Structure 1
Amino acid sequence: MSELATLARPYAAAVFKRSKETGTTEQWSKSLAFMSAVLKDKEISVVVDNPKVSKDRLSALMLDVCQGQVDEEGANFLKLLVQNNRLGLAPTISELFEAYKAENEGYVDVEVTTAYAFSKEEKQRFNSTLEKTLSKKVHMNVTVDKSLIGGVLVRAGDRVIDGSVKGQLQQLAKRL
């Protein structure tokens, strides 16, 4: 992943800079997410990974699939990725773009895994606590995983807060 991120970072930074200049951050976000979703499709990935498919045919295919979902700049960006043999980086570029966007807008996307579903009040209190802890506005995505036994597991970027019973038991097992 770090190798992909290293290759994708200049593209993501350039796209983010351009989106800020033109005020099209949301459009770019949607376009990159769509490109990423298309490339995750197995049938498309087989064609993309096939060395016998010419760059022109691949560009035409991708533009046809993405028609109506990307604007002219997005189409040019897609062509650039194809010409530079970097089309496979689109999902990573999309992730990095979203990270730049979050940093710029002063929020952080947080993945919260909990053993039991939050009530509305608990979710609001937990959200407030996370905002104080991380010193940023928080966008929470909550999933339930009964294997945690109890507590929560929080992932905010590269930061992980493990307050689950399962995590505590694993720590105890390591110490023993």
Structure 2
Amino acid sequence: MLGTSKTSLAKAREALTARVNASNADDVADALLSVTEVIATSAALRGALGDSGAVRGSRAALVGSVFADRVDATALEVVRDVVERRWSTGRDMVDAIESLGFEAALIGAEARGVLDTVEDELFRVDRVVAGDQRLRLVLTDPAVPDTTKGDIFADLLGGKADPTTITLVRYAVTHPRGRKLEDVLAALVTESARRHERLLARVTVADQLTEDQHRRLAAALSRVYGRDVDLQVDVDPSVVGGVVVRVGDEVIDGSVRHRVDQIRRRLGVA
């Protein structure tokens, strides 16, 4: 999101935090993700709720008429707050409600002291899916029943994952909304890192980092960005040596493969 939508999402997050606590976080999360799917699949409803020219209060009233009997009062307040803000596109508005649903789930995990566990589990699923094309095809095939997809990722997590992880991954698998599954999973990992006010750095290396290397790289990136940094490490032998770091849209490519490619380009060698 950019511009107006980015500002609106930041304010909506502040409003969510004021409304959600350990006792209602899971219910609010479930309700917001349910609302996301309803609005995402109805062009007429999405258009009406995203109409910035509508009389103030009319969009909130529409939310009440559609969802009052479907979701709890707190989730209803959150959705009303979202639709009354300004969004660059209707898609941004829907994405915002979904993002707040993710955040509510993570607030619940944080309150239970398992946020780090959930983040690690989400990253593990993300890496497994990214590395297995056949699995990815099955999980994104609309002909495969949701129950079957649920059983597949339950096996991936060994039946020991936190309930929040299961809820979020099941949602990602069954509600792609035209996105790649790995993109939804990556967004969840990023949301988790943002929840405890850390940046997420995706690190690709030729071989697994030692604990000391992991610690020193995290410290170096923290100095660069002025914030604590979480590392999610992916091993890819094709980088040969060095490290590739992605923080948001920024890429720091210090791999041997990158340097070799640069030399080839300078020499005009394919």
Q: TM-score range by the shorter chain?
A: 0.5 to 0.7
Matched, 1:24 2:109: yes
Q: Find the residue that maps to 1:131 and give its secondary structure.
A: helix
Q: Distance in 2 between matches of 1:136 and 1:33?
A: 24
Are the equivalent residues in 2 in contact too, given 1:35–1:91 (CA < 8 A)? yes
CA shift for structure 1 position 138: 2.6
Are the equivalent residues in 2 in contact too, given 1:16–1:100 (CA < 8 A)? yes
Matched, 1:154 2:245: yes
CA shift for structure 1 position 100: 1.4
Matched, 1:13 2:105: no
* RMSD, aligned α-carbons: 4.9
Equivalent residue for 1:127? 218
Matched, 1:145 2:231: no
Which residues of 2 match residues 23-172 of structure 1 at below 5 A?
A: 23-24=108-109, 26=115, 30=121, 42=134, 45-46=137-138, 49=141, 51=143, 58-62=145-149, 66=154, 82=174, 86=177, 90-105=181-196, 106-114=198-206, 121-140=212-231, 141=233, 143=235, 145=237, 148=240, 150-172=241-263
Gap regions ≥5 residues in structure 1: 1-5
Relative contact order (alpha carbons < 8 A, sep ≥ 6): 1 or 2 greater?
1
For 1:17, the aligned partner's letter is E
TM-score in terms of structure 1 length: 0.55
Residues 119 and 174 of structure 1: CA distance in aligned 2, closer, same or farther (over 3 Å): same
Deviates more, 1:42-51 or 1:125-134: 42-51
Percentage of pairs with the same residue: 18
Are the equivalent residues in 1 in contact too, given 2:202–2:245 (CA < 8 A)? yes
Are the equivalent residues in 2 in contact too, given 1:110–1:138 (CA < 8 A)? no
Structure with the bigger percentage of strand: 1
Gap regions ≥5 residues in structure 2: 1-90
Q: Distance in 2 between matches of 1:64 and 1:94?
A: 17
CA shift for structure 1 position 97: 1.6
Equivalent residue for 1:3? none
Q: Find the residue that maps to 1:24 and give its secondary structure.
A: helix
TM-score in terms of structure 2 length: 0.40
Q: Distance in 2 between matches of 1:33 and 1:121?
A: 21
Q: Find the residue that maps to 2:245 and give its secondary structure.
A: strand
